[in-house]
Amino acid sequence: MRSGIINIISNRNRDSQNTMHRLIKLFKDAGYHASEEFNPKAELTVCIGGDGAFLRAVHKTSFPTIPFVGVNTGHLGFFQEIHQDDLENFVQNYKHRKYKVERMYLLECQIETRERHFQLYALNEFVVKNQQNQVIHLKVDVEERHLQNFSGDGLIISSSAGSTAYNYSAGGAILYPTLNGYQLTPLAPINTKAYRSLYNSIVVPNDTILDIYPEKRYQSSTLVISDGLEVKFNQVKRFRFDIAQRYIRRLVFNKNYYWTNLKDKFL
- pLDDT tens, position by position, 167-215: 999 999 999 988 899 999 999 999 888 788 889 999 999 999 999 999 9
CA–CA distances in Å: residue 29 to residues 25, 126, 169: 6, 41, 42
How far apart are the C-alpha atoms of 220 and 214, rounded to whole Å?
Answer: 9
pLDDT band at 76 (very low <50, low <70, confident <90, very high): low
Residues belonging to the active site: 51
pLDDT > 70? residue 23: yes
Q: Where are the domains of the chain?
A: 5-98, 106-246
pLDDT of residue 257: 83
Nearest 5°: the CA angle 10, 231, 77 is: 30
Domain 106-246 sits in CATH at: 2.60.200.30
How far apart are the C-alpha atoms of 58 and 35, rounded to whole Å?
Answer: 16
How far apart are the C-alpha atoms of 243 and 20, rounded to whole Å?
Answer: 33
pLDDT band at 155 (very low <50, low <70, confident <90, very high): very high
> Where is 87: in which H helix or E strand?
helix 87-95
pLDDT band at 238 (very low <50, low <70, confident <90, very high): very high
Domain topology for 5-98: Rossmann fold (3.40.50)
The overall pTM is greater than 0.75: yes
CA–CA distances in Å: residue 162 to residues 38, 118, 124, 125, 254: 24, 22, 4, 6, 20
Total Cβ atoms within 10 A of residue 103? 10
